[in-house]
Every structure is written in C-alpha cells, then in structure tokens.
C-alpha cells in the first residue's frame, strides 16, 4: 500500500465507528420498512411485535424514517466525506478535537433521539410536523445530529484552508473540492431544521411556550428538507464523478463540468423547498411559482450528471472493447464487480426517480400525487435506490480498505446489488401505482376501514413482495459486511479508485474553484424565495396548542 493511501490512517478508527452506527441504523430502519410494506398487502406484522411495541404503526414509521433518512445517511456521509477530504487533500483532518467531538455528539444524538421514539413518546414521523408534539428529548437528539454534521464540516473547511495556505495558487483536487462543496451546501441548509427544533419546538414541548405556529415550523423544516435530499445525493455524485470512471477503466469526461454541477446545487437546491407545500393554503401562490421554477432548475445539474457520468463510463467500456451505439454497455462488469454494478444499477433506479421528481415538481400534477403512496414511491427510488445502493457499492471496496480484510464472497455481493435493485424497483412501482389509485401515504392500511383492497390488490402485492426482495438483499448486505469486517482471512488488495480527467489541461475558470461567489448569489436567492413568505407566515398564521395522538 502506498504512503498516499495511508494518509487516512489517523481517521480510520472514527470512520469505522461512524460506519458501524450507519449500518446498525440501516438494519434497524430497514426491518421496520419491511413491516410497513407488508401492511400494503394487508399483512399486519405489527400485530406480532413484542409487548409494548405491538400494533404501534406510527412508532415503527418514525423509527423507519429517522433511522434511515436522518441517521444512516448522515453517519455514512460524515465518514465518507471525511475520507474524501483527507484523501483528496493528502493530509489528515486539522483538528483531532473536532473529530472526537463530532463522534461523541453523534452518539449522544443517536441515543437521545431513539429512546423517546421507542418509548412511544415521539411518534411524530421524520418530518415532526407540529401540532404533533414529541418528547423534548426527540428535538434535542435531532439537534445533536445536526451539530455533529456542523463540527465535521468545520473540520473539513479548516483542513482545506491549511491546504490552500501551503499550496497557494493551486486548484483544489477535485475529490476534496466536491466534498467541501457538499458541506458548503448543507451547512446553511441545516439552519431551518435547527431553528425549528431548538427555537420553536423544544420550548413548546417543554411547556415553556404554550403554542406553536405549525405552518412556520413546517416551512422551516422544508427549508432544510429539500436541500437535505441533495446532502444525501451529492456524496453519491462524488463517487460517480471522482471514482467510478477509474473503476471501469475510463476517465472523467470533464472536470469543469463536474465542478459546475456540484456548485450549481448551492444556488439551486438551497433556496428551494416549498414544492413540498404546494397544497398548503397558507403559502402564497407567487412563492409556490418561484419554487416551482427553482425545482425545474435544480434538475439541470442532474441532467448534466446523466450526460457526464455516462460519457465517462462509456469511454471506459469502449477502452475495454465495448462496441456499437448501445452494445458497449455490455462491456461493463455488471456481473463480476459488485461495486461497479451497484453504482450503475443505482443510476438506472435514480433515472426513474428523476422522472417522478419532475411530476412532483409540477404544481398541477402534484395536486394528484401529494400525500399519496406515489411520494414514497418517488423517494424510495432516490434514497433507497440511488443513494443507499451507491453507499453499499462503495462499501464493497471501502470496508476492505479500512479493515485490511478482503471482501467476503464477491459473487454474493453481485447478487446482493441486483436483488436490491429489483426489490426497490418492484416496490416503488407498486407504490406509484397505489398512489395514482388514491392510496394515502402514512396510513396503517391493514386497519383502515375505508381501504379499497380489490382495486389496490396487485399494486399492494408489488409493494410487499418488492420489499421482501429488498429485505433479503439488505440482510445479505449485513452478512457480507460482518463476514468481511470480522471473519475474512485474505488480505485486502484494494486501491482507492481516483478518476483522471479526460482532458488534463482543462482551461478551468477560477470560479469553479471558489465557494464565496456561489454562496453570495445563494444568499440573495434565499432572501427572494423565502423571506417574504416566512415573514408573512410568522406574523399572520395562527398559533396552536399541540396534540399527542399516538
């Protein structure tokens, strides 16, 4: 192993702990997901949960959303972006103290959030919309989760600043730069949830304030909630742009385009969010229009990605003997390399979710699909499909690299990524179908008196059986990871894949190596897109007392 690779050695220990937390929360949240999906084909396994958990659908759905969307993603991303910053800049993180602080804050956040949820004191789902009221610890735990990301991001910025001091005039290596852009997007984005949880919801759940403005906290939630989905997505893009081309023997089509894509997410994703609230009467129509336009704008960097990443992969396939207009696709290692196959499959799934995203973002069509099963259909292709599958694909070389043990059973890993893909696609297809048939989301269907099974039957079977396949794939992933990390005897022979750009001396404009101008434009856009509405909602919308329903 070259000394370059050893640069991450000081980070190895805490990365492993974060990964352990990520995989445990993936398993925990995933298993509740199975119960949810079985419910869609009228199989009520909530009934078989032990004692105090029996029948508690909303407790389960909260665990599912929080453990997967908020915890698994965040812990994996913290570990991975620490790795890419360190590996990209070829220097350890600046502050050991911050590394430890992030870890301990994150562990505290994990416990503080999950305890009230499991005690059924916080069955408010991952969106914790007021007036549903949770135990104060739940908001505390979520705040800690966010603070854990802030300390990690600060460390990344400090490390970057040191690197720049030592390398004046040089452009930041791509892998590190795009990772830092991801943090730069997330840091301001996270303020919405932080203010909602700490300033409004926590005092209210403590009884310090009697009432809360539900439309305001909900808006603040989506201020964060929309960029949050790109906080999950961008680390997957880091992999697709800076690693995957090398894994398929190709080169990155254009480094400038790669940088542009990441940077565009700052001004386009950050000011967007009200498309989650098209149906909320308290939000002004002109605000919804601005956010609809922004939603379509933020699709653009993903379209560039479809082009750039595919071009890079094609180049690799052709260098390996791929021929023809389409047939070159067959020259890719779909059946032999689980890491590559997982990433390619995740893109196929992601493309489906891109299409449904367009539908969601279109005001009139949103009126048809909003709050139906369609929406979980959309986001499962995105988070469970694109993001999670890419993270699994990364784990197939990264865990061997970190533990020094070779991947246990390559063949099973290939089967695993295919099963996950089919499971997710079948499940999501069923969800879309149910949504169009009018099935509400977030509903305990087995026990809903109005459930129209008959018309919903086939779609429900797809959700349930798709989820069974995905569950098998998820358990397989757990087995492969455990066997690799603890049992595998062969030494790992892996290198970090680093994609070279196709054009080495790319005349890259300097603005593609800067953050400040992008953040400045973004600030102006946020003021235009959010300030008038937030002010109006804060001043004019009624306050309410709050409910604990489950």
User: Which chain residues interact with ligand HAS by CB under 6 A?
Assistant: 127, 229, 232-233, 275-276, 295, 298-299, 302-303, 305-306, 310, 313, 329, 344, 347-348, 350-351, 354, 357-358, 360-361, 366, 370, 375, 378-379, 382-383, 387
Q: Which of 259, 370, 378, 405 is catalytic?
A: 378
Residue 247 touches which of ligand HAS, Cu ion, none (Cβ within 5-8 Å per kind):
none
**Rounded (5°) CA angle 90-96-101:** 130
Assess contact for 71 and 144: CB atoms under 8 A: no
Q: Which of 318, 442, 514, 536 is catalytic?
A: 442
Is residue 221 part of the annotated active site? The answer reads no
How far is it, in rounded angstroms, from Cα 222 to Cα 273? 5
Assess contact for 508 and 184: CB atoms under 8 A: no
Residue 370 touches which of Cu ion, ligand HAS, none (Cβ within 5-8 Å per kind):
ligand HAS
Residue 459 touches which of ligand HAS, Cu ion, none (Cβ within 5-8 Å per kind):
none
Residues forming beta bridges with residue 440, ordered by sequence position: 372
For ligand HAS, which is the closer residue by CB, 86 or 145?
Answer: 145
* 222: Cβ contacts below 8 Å, ≥ 6 apart: 192, 273, 274, 276, 277
Least separation in angstroms between residue 407's CB and Cu ion is 35
Is residue 230 part of the annotated active site? The answer reads yes
For Cu ion, which is the closer residue by CB, 77 or 467?
Answer: 77
Specify the DSSP element, H or E, that contains 347. Answer: helix 338-361
Least separation in angstroms between residue 519's CB and ligand HAS is 20
Is residue 226 part of the annotated active site? The answer reads yes
Q: Which of 91, 318, 441, 536 is catalytic?
A: 441
For ligand HAS, which is the closer residue by CB, 23 or 278?
Answer: 278
How many C-beta atoms surround the C-beta of residue 209 within 10 A?
14
Positions that interact with Cu ion (CB under 5 A): 226
Helix, strand or coil, per DSSP, at residue 9: helix
For Cu ion, which is the closer residue by CB, 77 or 294?
Answer: 294
Residue 310 touches which of ligand HAS, Cu ion, none (Cβ within 5-8 Å per kind):
ligand HAS
How many C-beta atoms surround the C-beta of residue 278 within 10 A?
21
- DSSP assignment letter at 253: S
For ligand HAS, which is the closer residue by CB, 259 or 370?
Answer: 370
Tell me which residue of 256, 199, 215, 157 sits closest to 502, measured CA to CA.
Answer: 256
Alpha carbon 226 to chain centroid distance? 11
For ligand HAS, which is the closer residue by CB, 266 or 402?
Answer: 266
Least separation in angstroms between residue 352's CB and ligand HAS is 8
Least separation in angstroms between residue 310's CB and ligand HAS is 6
Least separation in angstroms between residue 298's CB and Cu ion is 8
* 527: Cβ contacts below 8 Å, ≥ 6 apart: none
Give residue number: closest CB to Cu ion: 226
C-alpha dist (Å) from residue 140 to 224, 260, 446: 17, 36, 33
Cα Rg for the chain, rounded, in angstroms? 23
Residue 8 touches which of ligand HAS, Cu ion, none (Cβ within 5-8 Å per kind):
none
Q: Which of 133, 218, 226, 370 is catalytic?
A: 226
End-to-end CA distance of the chain: give it in Å, rounded.
Answer: 55
Least separation in angstroms between residue 322's CB and ligand HAS is 10
Is residue 441 part of the annotated active site? The answer reads yes
How is 285-303 classified by DSSP, letter by letter? HHHHHHHHHHHHHHHHHHH
- Which residues are the active-site residues? 226, 230, 378-380, 441-442
């Amino acid at each position: 192993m070259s000394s370059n690779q050893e640069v991450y050695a000081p980070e190895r220990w805490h990365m492993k702990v974060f990964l352990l937390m990520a995989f445990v929360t993936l398993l925990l949240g995933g298993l509740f997901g199975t119960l949810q999906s079985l419910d869609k084909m009228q199989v009520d396994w909530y009934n078989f949960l032990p004692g105090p958990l029996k029948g508690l659908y909303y407790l389960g759905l909260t665990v599912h959303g929080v453990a997967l969307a908020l915890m698994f993603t965040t812990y994996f991303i913290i570990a991975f972006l620490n790795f890419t910053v360190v590996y990209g800049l070829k220097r350890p993180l600046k502050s050991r103290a911050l590394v430890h602080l992030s870890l301990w804050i994150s562990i505290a956040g994990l416990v503080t959030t999950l305890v009230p949820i499991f005690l059924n004191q916080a069955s408010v789902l991952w969106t914790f919309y007021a007036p549903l009221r949770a135990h104060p610890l739940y908001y505390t735990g979520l705040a800690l989760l966010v603070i854990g990301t802030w300390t990690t991001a600060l460390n990344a910025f400090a490390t970057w600043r040191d690197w720049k001091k030592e390398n004046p005039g040089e452009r930041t290596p791509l892998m590190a730069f795009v990772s830092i852009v991801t943090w730069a997007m997330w840091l301001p984005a996270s303020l919405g949830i932080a203010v909602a949880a700490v300033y409004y919801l926590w005092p209210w759940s403590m009884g310090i304030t009697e009432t809360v403005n539900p439309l305001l906290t909900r808006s603040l939630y989506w201020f964060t909630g929309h960029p949050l989905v790109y906080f999950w997505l961008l680390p997957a893009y880091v992999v697709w742009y800076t690693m995957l081309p090398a894994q398929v023997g190709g080169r990155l089509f254009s480094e400038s385009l790669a940088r542009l894509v990441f940077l565009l997410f700052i001004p386009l994703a950050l000011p967007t969010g009200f498309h989650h609230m098209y149906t909320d009467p308290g939000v002004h129509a002109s605000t919804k229009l601005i956010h609809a336009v922004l939603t379509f704008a933020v699709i653009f960097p993903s379209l560039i990605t479809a082009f750039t990443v595919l071009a890079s992969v094609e180049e690799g396939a052709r260098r390996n003997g791929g021929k023809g207009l389409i047939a070159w696709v067959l020259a890719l290692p779909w059946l032999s390399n689980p890491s590559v196959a997982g990433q390619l499959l995740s893109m196929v799934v992601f493309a489906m979710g891109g299409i449904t995203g367009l539908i969601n973002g279109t005001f009139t069509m949103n009126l048809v699909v909003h709050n139906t099963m369609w929406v979980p259909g959309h986001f499962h292709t995105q988070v469970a499909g694109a993001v999670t599958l890419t993270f699994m694909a990364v784990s197939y070389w990264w865990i061997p690299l970190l533990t020094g043990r070779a991947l246990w059973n390559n063949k099973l890993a290939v089967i695993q990524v295919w099963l996950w893909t089919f499971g997710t696609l079948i499940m999501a297809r069923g969800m879309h179908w149910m949504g169009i048939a009018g099935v509400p989301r977030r509903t305990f269907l087995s026990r809903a008196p109005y459930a129209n099974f008959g018309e919903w039957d086939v779609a429900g079977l797809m959700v349930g059986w798709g989820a069974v396949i995905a569950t098998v794939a998820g358990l397989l992933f757990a087995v492969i990871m455990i066997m690799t990390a603890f049992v595998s005897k062969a030494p790992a022979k892996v290198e970090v894949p680093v994609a070279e750009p196709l054009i080495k001396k790319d005349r890259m404009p300097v603005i593609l190596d800067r953050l400040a101008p992008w953040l400045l434009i973004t600030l102006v856009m946020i003021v235009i897109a959010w300030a008038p509405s937030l002010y109006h909602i804060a001043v004019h919308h009624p306050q309410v007392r709050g409910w604990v329903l489950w």
